[in-house]
Structure 1
Amino acid sequence: MSCCANAPYIGPPLDRTCYGGSFIFFMHLLNSLITKQCDVSEICERINPRPQPDSEYDFVVIGGGAGGSVVAARLSEIPDWKILLIEAGGDEPPGSQVPSMMNNYVGDSQMDWRYRTEPQEMACLGKPGRRCEWPRGRVLGGSGVIHGMMYMRGLPSDYNEWEARGNEGWGYEDVVEYFKKSEGNRDVGDGIEKKYHNIEGPMLVQRFPDRPEMAEDILRAGAELGYPVVEDLNGEQHWGFTIAQANIKNGSRLSSARAFLRPARDRPNLHIMLNSTATRIMIKSNDTGKSISAVEFTSNNQSFTVNVRREVVVSAGAINSPHLLLLSGIGPKEELDKVGIEQVHDLPGVGQNLKNHVSFALNYQLKKIKNYNDLNWDSVKEYLAGRKGPMSSTGVTQVAARISSEYADPDGRNPDLQFFFSGYLAQCSLSGGVKESEDPTKSQAAKSFTIRPTLLRPRSRGFIGLKSKDPKDSPLMQPNYLTDDEDVIRMVAGIRIAQDLANTNVLTRKYGIQMVENNYGDCSQNYTFDSDEFWACALRYDTGPENHQSCSCKMGPSSDPTAVVDPKLQVHGIEGLRIMDASVMPTVLSGNTHATVVMIAEKGSDYIKQKWLTQ
């Protein structure tokens, strides 16, 4: 039975995320069944968007992703404030709430901006046009609806470095309280120490209810190499192998929109516009300086302008936030002049200092494990009956390892590599049914497994710019991957660690793990296989651009000419304009970014309350 008599259409459905024969019918039935699971789809608890805005608001929040959902909800806690949230996408489809479907909506035109970078000289050489793919969520909840749900806070040294760069109040001891403010940890007492966590916050955190046996064996393999196995990388020790915690609720994904916005949906002072894209922030000048005036946006082919009484908060992400500022005439003059936008405010750092993690996938076959499909009617029935089984987790992707290469600090406290793993995932792929390497019709095929070393602190940096003055055009995205040779050296060291892991007794004897060899373009012709030069070539050919873009509107004091926001997240020189997303990070985080973006939004919301509630 459906939760509501008049349940709204929430798309896209799962059947459009898979192609190939009977799997379409299978996914169509699965989507229907998931939609009727009230605790998963929350059909009756969905946001009721407005058809058009009022003419004026106290606060306008641009972007309803990981940060914007938090900001809008927190500001609407003050009944006297009137809030408008503008989100370019729609609401989360029920299918995206199933953990094992974590990748299904990547590349979907309704859910994903489907960004492509500029052609790279040193990376992504095997991709069409040498352009790296950058999936970014275009949906309420943002990229938190299409990512792996892993809850990682980064290293204490990350935040202490932010503070050392002149950002008072952003050291680890300052920010940990804001991590805890959001967190509702359900694993406290099960190897998770309460002093590092909170159990009462809206953003639930816990381990997945299902864990394939291989996940535990990866931990044993790490221990065999001498690495520590820890219960909590967000606790006392921040390096080693672990079964990571995730943002889930009763076996389903918990995005920040679901955690923060849905409980606030009936507040009369919170208005939400979906499928609406901000096109310009309007600034006014007077004798005392520059300040916010209004926001222009489009929705359903209509243009709107809303006046702003107090502040605009931009939470559009590390790509779209600098893009919107540039479209509004805020940024370096040379970038604006290229496309004929008049400069309104000179800020040289807008779009600069772009950082992103980089990775490389080593693919293996488990020769002793006969291939089978983890997504079948048995796993569906198990999930529907009790939110258990393979569909309630991300397979071995829930394993995380944060460790040091030979080039990192020898004490291991500031690891420079993170390892991700893939396999045993109950999903279908966009390319057709199940992945070819796990096609159950190929009875002799072995199960597949991937190890992905990832560089946490790359030296290469890029920028976000403009292709045109048309807001409908995507921004210019130039990451400049692997332009610093040290990034390549450290990544090759990470590849060697991955190989050592695959060669451990526990993985070779039990699984018969065997690397899938690849030519990587002409790398095998130009270099001896398995030499450092070969892997450096392979890395440049098959670069894995992680989805942790950040630092493009970096936080810093007024003495830093490249800083865009001050330590209270206010844009330098413009009263009433703040940014709260990954773009404000001064340096790239040593880990997944989602939890930190939520923390930034929590802390930024408090800065706003401290200012306006004391006047």
Structure 2
Amino acid sequence: MDCGCCVPYPGPSLANTCYGGSFIFFMSMLDIMTRNTCDLSEICQRIKPKLQPDLEYDFVVIGGGAAGSVVAGRLSEEPDWKVLLIEAGGDEPSGSQVPSMMSNFIGNPYLDWNYKTEPQEKACLGEKERRCTWPRGKVLGGSGVIHGMMYMRGVPKDYDEWEKMGNPGWGYKQVLHYFKKSEGNQQVGTLVDGGLHGTDGPMVTSRFPDHPEMADDMMKAAEEVGYSVVNDLNEGQHSGFTIAQANIINGSRLSSARAFLRPARKRPNLHIMINSTATKILIRKDSHHKTVSEVEFVYNNRFYKVKVKREAILSAGAINSPQILLLSGIGPKQELKKVNITQVHNLPGVGKNFQNHVSFGVRFELQSMKDVNDLDGLALGHYLVYRNGPMSSTGMAQVTARLTTQYGNSSEVNPDLQFFFEGFLANCSRWGVVGENAHLGTYNSKKAILISPVVLRPKSRGYIGLKTNRPLDPPLMRPNYLTDEYDIKILIEGVRIAQKLSKSKILRTKYGIKLAREDYGNCAKQFKYNSDQFWECAIRYSTRPENHQSSSCKMGPSSDRLAVVDPMLQLHGIEGIRVIDASIMPFVVSGNPHGTIVMIAEKGAQFIKEKWLNNL
């Protein structure tokens, strides 16, 4: 189909995202049909990148991910402001907008940094060199292009505690306005409360058009074993099981780039450089002040410098924002000295206080179900014509729960454990035939699901540093997972809750659910199977870091030694630099962070508007 424009197709093909040559035919057909479905690929609504920057801009936004797309889009609403957005990756491939393909592009160098951590002492012990894998989006929309699209805020207590830590204006009542500003919830009045959700924002939100029958049965199982089931964990009852809402529109992924940048693509004051990696922020010093001067970046093997007239905004995420600050000589002197970088400004907290949710996947086999593909020709047709069916959802990944363990405070709503689920995902197919075996060479394998407990309030802390002073080298990433015993205790209780769910009558009789016996390296030989010691060994062996990295450029008052930015998100001690992304969280929120990151970006952009519009 001719969509009426001549635009180079962005990104890799879906045909290259599945293992084995036998997948190429059907996945190539899927990619072509997705690409040529104009309202799905939005090929004619894509941004037109600049090939060379101008000499100066009012604002330079570094990073076009979940936060940077929002900031650049909002700032460019002011026609007199000239805005440059610098993004290290390219545009989203249309295949990534199909919900069931949510994990297909993870590890693809076109849109994933595919980072590896430093060797861990107490986690990821089964990985090569004990290095955990960190998928991180390198694409317009950032990690919002490779995540599960779930729309989950933290609980109100998270933001109230941020405020109590010396950050006025960040309590739940104040940030709720910015959550609602960005949100376009399509199920207000039928599923969620209009008083707590927005309806006019660009981030369209609803449940997926399809969910497997087992999602409903998991809700029944939860009730059967004593847990509550709610419509919306973002409302008054913040604990229980639910089928979550997601950021989707017409059955396809809605990243913040798609929501905030594509509608702004014709604004002459918004310039976007893709495949361009920021390397340094340059500072101008006099006897009394330090002020932002220029931003340096590399595009097409050439270094550029652009002058910043008002502000540089770091929205490169919890890994790359501290990396760029350190490369600029901003950070603790001892860290900079290790890689021969001259300190420009002392900020001891840069890269410190790093946090991430960590989880463990418990695998259950469904003895009553044969493992066949959920993607076939019929599902493809339904999706392209009606935008429903298994391709329009993430299978069991849309199911979640937030609970309070025995280690949490049951007297208040402060859950410390979340659950994610995997299974029934229509993401790859060989021939698109109904009943096709999911894996080559298997005929009687059973379908399986994964139930993953997640530590919501981890006590382990890590840091981001530099390995070298070369700006294109990956940073040093030392998360220190599971170094605090509290995190292990939470996960073990999560395993027990997963087992409790599997003992429900509905899952046993309808699906024949059974815990899959796995050895996890030598754990089964070292410890009694199913003992707490066995599960601790298994969790350390098969650790699953979530893609929820945060807190490495902590927000806080100047009296806080680890604070990098103030409550207005301005860098302490240097005028004209803000950090607006997940790195500013004082601690990681109790839920999926994407919605909170968009809220932070909305609030940060408003700070900038209030400052500079009032100065006119």
Matched-pair contact (CA < 8 Å) for 1:373–1:440: no
Distance in 1 (CA, whole Å) between partners of 2:580 and 2:550 is 11
Distance in 1 (CA, whole Å) between partners of 2:165 and 2:470 is 35
Name the aligned partner's letter for residue 414 of structure 1: N
Matched-pair contact (CA < 8 Å) for 2:104–2:427: yes
Matched-pair contact (CA < 8 Å) for 1:295–1:305: yes
Superimposed CA distance per residue, residues 156-213 of structure 1 (whole angstroms, 9 cap, x where no aligned partner)? 0000000000000000000010000000000112221111111111110000000110
Deviation at 1:442, TM superposition (A): 2.5
Q: Which is further off, 4-13 or 575-584?
A: 4-13
Name the aligned partner's letter for residue 190 of structure 1: T
TM-score for both structures, normalised by structure 1: 0.98
Distance in 1 (CA, whole Å) between partners of 2:169 and 2:443 is 58
Distance in 2 (CA, whole Å) between partners of 1:429 and 1:566 is 50
Deviation at 1:4, TM superposition (A): 2.8
Distance in 2 (CA, whole Å) between partners of 1:191 and 1:381 is 29
Deviation at 1:64, TM superposition (A): 0.1
Q: Secondary structure at the match of 1:84?
A: strand
Superimposed CA distance per residue, residues 438-478 of structure 1 (whole angstroms, 9 cap, x where no aligned partner)? 42763311111110000000100000000000011100000
Q: Secondary structure at the match of 2:246?
A: coil
Superimposed CA distance per residue, residues 35-86 of structure 1 (whole angstroms, 9 cap, x where no aligned partner)? 1111111000001000000000000000000000000000001011000000
Corresponding residue for residue 574 of structure 2: 574
Q: Which runs of 5+ in 2 are unaligned?
A: none
**RMSD of the alignment, in Å?**
1.5
Name the aligned partner's letter for residue 325 of structure 2: L
Distance in 2 (CA, whole Å) between partners of 1:554 and 1:405 is 27
Superimposed CA distance per residue, residues 199-241 of structure 1 (whole angstroms, 9 cap, x where no aligned partner)? 1111100000001100001111111121111001111211110
Matched-pair contact (CA < 8 Å) for 1:17–1:429: no
Q: Secondary structure at the match of 1:195?
A: coil
Matched-pair contact (CA < 8 Å) for 2:373–2:428: no
Matched-pair contact (CA < 8 Å) for 1:113–1:135: yes
Matched-pair contact (CA < 8 Å) for 1:293–1:307: yes
Corresponding residue for residue 489 of structure 2: 489
Superimposed CA distance per residue, residues 93-143 of structure 1 (whole angstroms, 9 cap, x where no aligned partner)? 000000000000000011100100000000000000000000000000000
Runs of 4+ in 1 over 3 A off after TM superposition: none
Matched-pair contact (CA < 8 Å) for 1:317–1:583: yes
Distance in 2 (CA, whole Å) between partners of 1:305 and 1:401 is 47
Corresponding residue for residue 409 of structure 2: 409
Name the aligned partner's letter for residue 316 of structure 1: A
Corresponding residue for residue 562 of structure 1: 562
Deviation at 1:19, TM superposition (A): 2.9
Matched-pair contact (CA < 8 Å) for 1:416–1:457: yes
Corresponding residue for residue 115 of structure 2: 115
Matched-pair contact (CA < 8 Å) for 1:100–1:425: yes
Deviation at 1:145, TM superposition (A): 0.1
Deviation at 1:437, TM superposition (A): 9.1
Distance in 1 (CA, whole Å) between partners of 2:612 and 2:446 is 61
Corresponding residue for residue 17 of structure 1: 17
Structural mapping, 1:353-502, within 5 Å: 353-411=353-411, 413-428=413-428, 438-439=438-439, 442-502=442-502
Distance in 2 (CA, whole Å) between partners of 1:244 and 1:478 is 32
Q: Secondary structure at the match of 2:614?
A: coil
Deviation at 1:406, TM superposition (A): 1.5
Q: Which runs of 5+ in 1 are unaligned?
A: none
Aligned pair count reads 612
Corresponding residue for residue 505 of structure 1: 505
Matched-pair contact (CA < 8 Å) for 2:356–2:547: yes
Name the aligned partner's letter for residue 514 of structure 2: Q
Distance in 2 (CA, whole Å) between partners of 1:394 and 1:469 is 40
Corresponding residue for residue 229 of structure 2: 229
Residues 409, 581 of structure 1: alpha-carbon distance in 2 compared, 3 angstrom cutoff: same
Corresponding residue for residue 74 of structure 1: 74
- Residues 1:2 and 2:14 aligned together: no
Distance in 1 (CA, whole Å) between partners of 2:429 and 2:11 is 18
Corresponding residue for residue 85 of structure 1: 85
Corresponding residue for residue 291 of structure 2: 291
Deviation at 1:407, TM superposition (A): 1.2
Q: Secondary structure at the match of 1:91?
A: coil
Corresponding residue for residue 196 of structure 1: 196
Q: Secondary structure at the match of 1:424?
A: coil
Corresponding residue for residue 35 of structure 2: 35
Deviation at 1:429, TM superposition (A): 9.0
Structural mapping, 1:197-212, within 5 Å: 197-212=197-212
Deviation at 1:420, TM superposition (A): 0.4
Corresponding residue for residue 335 of structure 1: 335
Matched-pair contact (CA < 8 Å) for 1:438–1:446: no
Matched-pair contact (CA < 8 Å) for 1:371–1:440: no
Distance in 1 (CA, whole Å) between partners of 2:425 and 2:76 is 39
Residues 96, 194 of structure 1: alpha-carbon distance in 2 compared, 3 angstrom cutoff: same
Distance in 2 (CA, whole Å) between partners of 1:409 and 1:219 is 24
Matched-pair contact (CA < 8 Å) for 1:239–1:412: no
Distance in 2 (CA, whole Å) between partners of 1:461 and 1:2 is 52
Corresponding residue for residue 182 of structure 1: 182
Distance in 1 (CA, whole Å) between partners of 2:601 and 2:193 is 25
Q: Secondary structure at the match of 1:606?
A: helix
Distance in 2 (CA, whole Å) between partners of 1:256 and 1:296 is 25
Distance in 2 (CA, whole Å) between partners of 1:15 and 1:109 is 15
Q: Secondary structure at the match of 2:16?
A: helix
Distance in 2 (CA, whole Å) between partners of 1:490 and 1:142 is 30
Corresponding residue for residue 277 of structure 1: 277
Name the aligned partner's letter for residue 387 of structure 1: R
Name the aligned partner's letter for residue 352 of structure 2: Q
Distance in 1 (CA, whole Å) between partners of 2:514 and 2:183 is 40
Name the aligned partner's letter for residue 176 of structure 2: V
Corresponding residue for residue 305 of structure 2: 305
Distance in 2 (CA, whole Å) between partners of 1:334 and 1:580 is 25
Corresponding residue for residue 261 of structure 1: 261
Distance in 1 (CA, whole Å) between partners of 2:7 and 2:570 is 41
Distance in 1 (CA, whole Å) between partners of 2:297 and 2:288 is 27
Distance in 2 (CA, whole Å) between partners of 1:491 and 1:289 is 48
Corresponding residue for residue 544 of structure 2: 544
Q: Secondary structure at the match of 2:195?
A: helix
Distance in 1 (CA, whole Å) between partners of 2:494 and 2:138 is 32
Name the aligned partner's letter for residue 124 of structure 1: C
Name the aligned partner's letter for residue 570 of structure 1: Q
Q: Which is further off, 437-446 or 487-496?
A: 437-446
Deviation at 1:486, TM superposition (A): 1.2
Q: Secondary structure at the match of 1:574?
A: coil
Q: Secondary structure at the match of 2:318?
A: helix
Distance in 1 (CA, whole Å) between partners of 2:259 and 2:429 is 28
Distance in 2 (CA, whole Å) between partners of 1:566 and 1:91 is 32
Name the aligned partner's letter for residue 254 of structure 2: L
Name the aligned partner's letter for residue 588 of structure 2: V
**Share of identical aligned residues, percent?**
62
Residues 553, 142 of structure 1: alpha-carbon distance in 2 compared, 3 angstrom cutoff: same
Deviation at 1:390, TM superposition (A): 0.3
Name the aligned partner's letter for residue 371 of structure 2: N
- Residues 1:598 and 2:607 aligned together: no
Corresponding residue for residue 215 of structure 1: 215
Distance in 2 (CA, whole Å) between partners of 1:318 and 1:66 is 12
Distance in 2 (CA, whole Å) between partners of 1:122 and 1:497 is 23
Distance in 2 (CA, whole Å) between partners of 1:412 and 1:227 is 17
TM-score for both structures, normalised by structure 2: 0.98
Matched-pair contact (CA < 8 Å) for 2:23–2:429: no
Deviation at 1:5, TM superposition (A): 4.2
Deviation at 1:483, TM superposition (A): 0.4
Q: Secondary structure at the match of 1:196?
A: coil
Matched-pair contact (CA < 8 Å) for 1:205–1:247: yes
- Residues 1:240 and 2:227 aligned together: no
